[in-house]
Amino acid sequence: AGLRGSECVQPDTMAYNSMLSAALASRATEKFWSTVAEMEAKGIKGNEQTELRIADCRALAQEALQTQPPDELRPLPPGWCEHRDPASGRSYYWAEADPAGTTTWERPG
């Protein structure tokens, strides 16, 4: 018998769980969620291990949100300046190339 060229092995839940683990290990959350979507699209049911990996990915995303520096610690984009308004104490921003046309209270990102 053996496998013929037109036959192929279809990944099962264990194979997908391995792919999910690899995505988690490399912190590739987009790949993780696209793999989950692929499982769902192919009708492959997850198991307890799948659910644990999903919980781990959600925790990883939450951790990433908590470790992002606040806006004031991130550098401004090239060509932007910041100044503190003495009356309000708030920062405002402008582009060096066009200070009059770009002044804003919103930190450019």
Domain boundaries along the sequence of the chain: 13-67, 71-102
Write down the pLDDT at residue 62: 83
Amino acid identity, residue 31?
K
Compute the mean pLDDT over every residue in the chain, rounded to the nearest whole number: 85
Write down the pLDDT at residue 86: 84
User: What is the pLDDT averaged over residues 3-11?
Assistant: 59
Q: Which of 3-7, 46-50, 65-69 has the lowest mean pLDDT?
A: 3-7
CB atoms within 10 A of CB 36: 19
60 against 88, higher pLDDT:
60
Write down the pLDDT at residue 42: 93
pTM of the model: 0.54
* CA dist., res. 107 & res. 77, Å (int): 10
